[in-house]
Chains A and B, each alone.
Chain A
Amino acid sequence: MGHIEEIYQAVVGGNVDAASEGVQKAVDAQTDADEILNKAMVPAMDLVGEKFGEGEYFIPQVLWSAKAMQAGMEILRPLFAEDQKMDKGSIVIGTSKGDIHDIGKNLVAMMLEGAGFKIVDLGVDVDPARFVETAEQEGSAVIAVSALLTTTMPAMKEVVSLVRERRLGTKVVIGGAPVDQGFCDEIGADAYGTDAVDAVKKIRSLLGV
């Protein structure tokens, strides 16, 4: 089994130690960091996403795979040159103002990280202005807002309004149990993810990466 295949299997299987060992071996064998990322780890997380979508994987399996991916990334990160664009862009993420439920948000953040995005996690109960200001400072391509409570959904609309007011190119992606496409359309958000895997998919297609 080649290094790439070994890393791929380790990430799919959520084997943290095997993933970092595999990446280290690949690096020692002069394998290109880009290749390790894009031929092994990213496709592995794609498969994990599919398995989650099909009900074969559950949250624990997804999180172990994301941890394995992160372990590999620790080794790779210093190898990417400054000018080389490893990150697909940064994403500001948090729960809607008034909402402290962050399990879904954390899962989406981990999946996005696994897909190679840089995450700026603002945590819970995030003020709409803070989302937008942070995205402006970080030059983030996407703001991702999660809500579990229906009462905190209006704050999502505020995020969209602020982004439009300031004429930022930042996309706003929303998610959470009470959120649906109808609500997304109503508030003019750019996309809505049904679950963590769908969120990654929607963000990739919004950004064309």
Chain B
Amino acid sequence: MKKSLLDLVEERTVFFDGAMGTMLMARGLESGGIPEQLNADHPERVQEIHRLYYEAGADVVHTNTFGGSPIKLAGLGAGERMADLNARGARIAREVCPEGKFVAGDIGPTGKMMAPLGDVTSEQLEEAFESQAEALLSGGADFISIETMFSLEEALSAVEGARRAGAPLVVAAVTFQKTPKGYFTVMGDTPEKSVSEFEAAGVDVIATNCTLGSGDMIELTSKLRGLTQKPILVQPNAGKPFSREGRTFYEQTPEEFARDCVEIRKAGADMIGGCCGTDDRFIREIVAAVKK
């Protein structure tokens, strides 16, 4: 039987991939549009990125389905293509996944606020995430990875949806901001609350990604380590993005990022990857630096 992600993490540090958007843009993805549509229109481009990440040493890649929830796609007029785009996204990654490595079915936020502040209910979210997770698993995703949730409540809806879809394992991440008073989601959720609710919901891997660069993630990792015995996945941004003369740059180099990732490992992360601004060079550097 295939070794599970949880078996692998018992043995060594597990490496996730870096950004999808950054890599797509570097290859001239049209601005705007629906990134998930590439799974149907240009699967070879998406697949090439997955392959580069596996070659760089990633054990896990995320499918190109971050914005693939039915709610988000419906907002772009692509709601009816939801199941197809997600299943294709998973298949594209599955086809290039080497033996012993993994495909994480990626679920991101819908961009909607929950009632009573917003107009979606937790039932609607759960149903939406369940159908996305089903499509991802049917296309060959090994498990579900929920990323960049700025609302713990929405993240928990996604966990519930993934569970109902029969996901054998669920990774769940909220994204924290660093404030003078500590780490909070923009909705005000603390790491303490996030970890305890994720644990209660049966999340297998407690994760955080995006917003923060690798430097700030070191401290946040120590904090998370103090809160849970579960495996922890940390995926920082390559610093803050900025744009000059129409080009986008990120503050950090792959080398700086990798040095911080060694500290993130020491602070207690079991799994490490990259978020916005990272590419295959970053993953290669992390793998080399952490293994040393």
Minimal beta-carbon separation of A56 from chain B (angstroms): 8
| Number of A residues, CB within 8 Å of B | 34
Using a Cβ cutoff of 8 Å, how many contacts connect chains A and B?
73
Which residue on chain A has the smallest CB distance to residue B109?
Answer: A103
Interface stretch of the complex, out of B89-97, B126-134, B192-200, B238-246: B238-246
Minimal beta-carbon separation of B223 from chain A (angstroms): 16
Interface stretch of the complex, out of A19-27, A133-141, A174-182: A174-182
13 contacts between A and B (CB under 8 A): A54-B180, A55-B180, A55-B181, A58-B186, A59-B187, A60-B187, A124-B75, A149-B21, A150-B25, A151-B25, A151-B248, A155-B31, A182-B244
Minimal beta-carbon separation of A198 from chain B (angstroms): 15
Interface stretch of the complex, out of A76-84, A92-100, A163-171: A92-100
Minimal beta-carbon separation of A123 from chain B (angstroms): 10
Is there contact, CB below 8 Å, between A151 and B31? yes
Instruction: Tell me the B residues contacting A by CB distance below 8 Å.
Output: 21, 25, 29, 31-33, 75-76, 111, 113, 117, 150, 179-181, 184-188, 240-246, 248
Main secondary structure of the interface of A (DSSP, over half): loop
For A9, the chain B residues whose CB sits under 8 A away are none
CB-CB nearest 8 A-B residue pairs? A98-B32, A58-B188, A151-B31, A150-B248, A55-B179, A98-B31, A178-B241, A55-B181
Is there contact, CB below 8 Å, between B184 and A58? yes
For B242, the chain A residues whose CB sits under 8 A away are 178, 180, 182-183
Is there contact, CB below 8 Å, between A150 and B241? yes
For B29, the chain A residues whose CB sits under 8 A away are 151
Is there contact, CB below 8 Å, between A153 and B243? yes
- Asked if A152 is at the interface (CB within 8 A of a chain B CB), the reply is yes
Minimal beta-carbon separation of B132 from chain A (angstroms): 17
Minimal beta-carbon separation of B233 from chain A (angstroms): 22
The residue that B188 contacts in the complex, of A54, A59, A151, with Cβ under 8 A, is A59
For A97, the chain B residues whose CB sits under 8 A away are 31-32
